[in-house]
């Protein structure tokens, strides 16, 4: 299987389509009607392998399909698992073009190296001055298709960025960079099957651990076992949910969080709990940072209260679903009003507006140990 096919296929290994066909659920829309908590668009992305499903979504899918949630995950280390055979029903068979794919990988590495060597060449600058939208930038840097399959606007932007007159000169320039060793440091980051396998393996393991434990729910104090928090019974909403000031109930949230490489966090249970702020929605949870990815002002031992039903605001913090785990970002906006997320360790800039809103959650508060 090619590097590009592999990248497209192994975003989220799933078996939803198989079980849907076994139950004679002919269309994804029919399945979506059984899952009011998952939008059709998100469900479609999950089935196509474009995004990871959360553990609560896997539980809902399992109930709708009549199987255990664990059965929706596959074992990428099983000798019988064939990534090409798995991917073909989802993405179709693409003819192999080794030379084109090699060129896509080299172009991705060259663009990463170009940006890495110029701190001023931010995602916003590439969009404003070169017309390369963040989503296109991400696809180029992950070698999703060869140069000749990009439209003329994108190719012209790349030629201008690398100061070359035509596509042939761009290809020659990239080849020269590779021959000189200038791309050696970034090539392992592009379309690396082993790296993607490692990330997928870690994410699947984290999901298995989470599914093996109890479903995420509000923990209730032992002193009042028959009482329930009004927040726990409330429907999901974008508006803050208020608890009366005289309420004696303290709502406790389960805390997740295991540090992963590259500043990511696995959503694995820690056994700890954190008090919920009054505005927290029914799906709020605690997330232990693990490392000071936003700098010394937010130490690694901090626990964040995250609300998936609230969208972040400028000046606050957000948690996004990234490839391989969760990422905490500081939120700001550029002069055009576009929302951007930043991380210090590693140094990242993320265009929040280009992400699926379901993959972006607001941080309501932080607790420092």
CATH of residue 83: 1.10.260
Are 125 and 244 part of one and the same domain? no
Mean of pLDDT values over 97-104: 81
Assigned domain for 195 exists = no
Residues 6+ apart with CB under 8 A from 201: 76, 77
Residue 211: the pLDDT is: 84
Select from 91, 112, 136 the last residue of a domain.
Answer: 91
Assigned domain for 145 exists = yes
Are 50 and 103 part of one and the same domain? no
Are 235 and 351 part of one and the same domain? yes
Are 250 and 361 part of one and the same domain? yes
Which residue is it, tokens 């790296």?
195
Residue 265's CB: how many other CB atoms inside 10 A? 25
Tell me the pLDDT tens digit for each residue of 270-296.
888 888 888 888 889 999 998 889 887
How far from 4 is each of 95, 139, 146, 315, CA to CA, in Å?
A: 11, 11, 9, 37
> Which residues in the chain belong to E strands, given as ranges?
252-259, 265-275, 285-288, 303-307, 317-322, 325-333, 339-343, 348-351, 360-367
In whole angstroms, what is the distance from residue 216 CA to residue 284 CA? 9
Query: Number of folded domains in the chain?
Result: 3
Are 131 and 246 part of one and the same domain? no
Assigned domain for 37 exists = yes
Tell me the pLDDT tens digit for each residue of 337-355.
788 899 988 888 899 988 8
Are 123 and 65 part of one and the same domain? no
Q: Which domain holds residue 83?
A: 3-91
In whole angstroms, what is the distance from residue 63 CA to residue 45 CA? 19
10-14, 173-177, 212-216, 309-313: lowest mean pLDDT where? 10-14
How far from 254 is each of 158, 163, 167, 286, 305, CA to CA, in Å?
A: 47, 53, 54, 6, 10
Assigned domain for 122 exists = yes
Assigned domain for 291 exists = yes
Measure the CA angle with vertex 238, ends 232 and 242; round to 5°: 50
Question: Residue 117 gets which letter from DSSP?
Answer: T
Average pLDDT score over the chain: 77
> Are 143 and 4 in contact, with CB atoms under 8 Å apart?
yes
Tell me the pLDDT tens digit for each residue of 258-268.
999 889 999 88
Assigned domain for 189 exists = no
Mean of pLDDT values over 47-76: 80
Assigned domain for 190 exists = no
In whole angstroms, what is the distance from residue 51 CA to residue 323 CA? 8
Residue 245: the pLDDT is: 40
Are 166 and 87 part of one and the same domain? no
Assigned domain for 203 exists = no
Are 29 and 54 part of one and the same domain? yes
């Amino acid at each position: 299987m090619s590097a590009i096919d592999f990248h497209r296929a192994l975003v989220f290994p799933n078996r939803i389509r198989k079980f849907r066909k076994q139950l004679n659920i002919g269309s994804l829309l029919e399945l979506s009607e059984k899952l009011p908590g998952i939008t059709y668009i998100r469900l479609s992305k999950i089935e196509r392998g474009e995004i990871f499903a959360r553990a609560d979504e896997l539980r809902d899918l399992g109930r709708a399909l009549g199987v255990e949630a664990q059965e929706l995950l596959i074992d990428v280390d099983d000798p019988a698992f064939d990534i090409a055979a798995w991917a073909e029903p989802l993405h179709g068979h693409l003819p192999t073009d080794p030379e084109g794919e090699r060129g896509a990988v080299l172009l991705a590495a060259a663009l990463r190296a170009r940006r890495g060597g110029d701190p001023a060449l931010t995602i916003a600058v590439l969009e404003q001055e070169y017309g390369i939208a963040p989503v296109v930038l991400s696809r180029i840097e992950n070698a999703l298709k060869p140069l000749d399959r990009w439209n003329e606007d994108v190719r012209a932007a790349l030629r201008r960025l690398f100061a070359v007159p035509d596509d042939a000169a761009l290809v020659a320039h990239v080849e020269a960079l590779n021959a000189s060793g200038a791309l050696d440091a970034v090539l392992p980051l592009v379309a690396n099957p082993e790296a993607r396998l490692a990330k997928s393996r870690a994410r699947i393991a984290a999901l298995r651990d989470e599914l093996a434990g109890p479903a995420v729910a509000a923990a209730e104090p032992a002193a009042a076992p028959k009482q329930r928090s009004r927040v726990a019974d409330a429907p999901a909403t974008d508006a803050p949910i208020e608890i009366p000031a005289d309420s004696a109930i303290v709502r406790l949230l389960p805390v997740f969080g295991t540090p992963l490489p590259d500043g990511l966090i696995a959503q694995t249970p820690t056994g700890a709990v954190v008090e919920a702020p009054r505005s927290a929605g029914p799906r709020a949870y605690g997330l232990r940072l693990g490392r000071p990815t936003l700098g010394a002002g937010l130490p690694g031992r901090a626990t964040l209260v995250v609300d998936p039903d609230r969208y972040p605001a400028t000046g606050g913090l957000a948690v996004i679903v990234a490839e391989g785990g969760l990422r905490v970002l500081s939120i700001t906006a550029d002069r055009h009003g576009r929302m951007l997320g930043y991380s210090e360790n590693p140094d990242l800039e993320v265009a929040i507006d280009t992400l699926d809103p379901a993959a972006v959650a607001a941080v309501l508060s932080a607790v420092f140990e």
